Structures are given as structure tokens and as C-alpha cells.
Amino acid sequence: MQALPIRMVLVDTSHPGNIGAAARAMKNMDLVDLALVRPRQFPHPEATARASGADDVLANARVAATVTEALAGCGLVLACTARERDHYYRVLDVREAAVRAVAESAAVPVAIVFGGEHSGLSNEDLAPAHALLRIPTGTEYASLNLAMAVQVVAYEILRARGGSVPPAAREQPLADPPAMARLYQHLETVLVEVDFRDRTQQGTNLMNRIRRFLQRAELDANEVNILRGILTAVQQRRRRAGETVPPA
């Protein structure tokens, strides 16, 4: 999947490990544009170690003296913050913000700004933002680690652009409808033989419910054969138990 022109801007990052972890989070989600504003220590061996394979994102990261400089060439600017602000800002949930960022990035690069670990974003750093981005959290402790926040936002961006886990390849194809019909008939026969009956007032819901949950299981042909083998074993055991023992 091609990387989107969405820039992650980290402001006043104090711990180099968070820079590396953020770079890794970005690369995991097909984002590569990283900008660092006034990082305390960069480059740094710990940033490289925490990047763990995202060395190219670190190598290409732009370092800027101001947020305005880091935002050069960007259109939409979103600021990630959990703090309440005195001034009016439009506030977007992270999922809504991700959808907006993906859409806007088709025309011009988008920037998402993250504050430092200790004090977040200043009002001055927030000034260029068109909206605030909020990540929902529990009420007791709303402060996320910087790299964790980048990971959540990057993940939502991936989902917003249609990224999903491909379904696992099946070892066996799904059982066809005739095979399922034979299974249900076999099962119904055995239920009668063992006197397991529908106890509801109408007396007609049991097999329908069994069909529904087995359909949800999406059985393949081998699994149908296993179930029918179990049913046949039950029938054979019942027949042996019912045989008359000849007198001695």
C-alpha cells in the first residue's frame, strides 16, 4: 500500500525512545513522513533501537525549529491533545479525524501534531491547527504515551483508507448446500432416536436454531464429515446397547 502524504509532527519530544517508537508505529501503518520540532536528543542510539526496522523513517525525518516550519507545504492541520482549551476549537474524534485526513491528503499533504511528553502542546503550537483530534480514553487517566498516541492515530488512518486484515486462506472449501442439508437431516434423525426434542411451546424452533449456529460456523466438507461420523457412532452405540443378549 502506497504511503499517504500525512505528516506526523512531534513537538518538544524529550525521550528519544519515543521518537523511534513513533517511527515504527508509522511504518507499521504505511506512513513515512515524520517531522520533529525541537527534539531534545536526535539523532540518538535509543531512537534507532526503538525504531526496530523503521530506520528509513528516522533517516528522512525533518528537524524544525518551529511548528510553522514543520508544517510547510501542508493543508489541513490537526492537533492531538487531551487538554481542555480556553479558546474555541472544532474537536474531532480520532476516527472521524482519520477519515478527514485521508480525504484531504488526496489534494495536499495533511499534518497531525503531537505535543511533548510532559506538557503537551502550547497555545502557540496549536495556533495553526484547524481542529483538535481526541483519542477516547477512560475517565480516570486520559494521558497517553506519545508513541501510543501516534500508533492509535496511524492505525485509524490505515483503517480509514480501507486497510483491513485479509481473510485467511481456507485449507478446504466450504461444504456445499447439499452436504449441509444431509448433515441437518442426519442430525434431526439422531435427535429423534435419542429423544432430544424441542421443548418450546411451538415445538418447531430447535432445528432452525441448530441450522443457524452451524451456518455461522461456516463448516468445510471435512468438518461436516467429522460431525456425521460422530452422529453415526452415536447411532451404532445405541443399536448395540439395545440388542437382546441371548440366554446363557
What is the number of other CB atoms lying within 10 angstroms of the CB of residue 111? 27
Per the structure, the complete domain to which residue 105 belongs is given by: 6-160
pLDDT at 201 over 70: no
Residue 248: per-residue pLDDT: 35
Of 104, 128, 160, the domain-final residue: 160
The residue among 190, 80, 63, 199 whose CA lies nearest residue 129 is: 80
pLDDT at 54 over 70: yes
Residues 74 and 101 both lie in one domain: yes
pTM for the complete prediction? 0.74
Residues 62 and 140 both lie in one domain: yes
pLDDT at 169 over 80: no
Residue 174: per-residue pLDDT: 82
pLDDT at 244 over 70: no
User: Distance between CA 227 and CA 210 in Å, rounded?
Assistant: 13
Residues 115 and 205 both lie in one domain: no
pLDDT at 152 over 70: yes
Residues 126 and 207 both lie in one domain: no
What b/e readout covers 58-91, taking b as 16+ CB neighbours within 10 angstroms? beebeebeebeebbeebebbbbbbbeeeeeeeee
Could you identify the residue written with the cell 489541513?
76
Residues 128 and 18 both lie in one domain: yes
Residues 21 and 47 both lie in one domain: yes
Asked if 47 and 17 touch (Cβ cutoff 8 Å), the reply is yes
In a domain, 165, yes or no: no
The domain spanning residue 211 has which CATH number?
Answer: 1.10.8.590
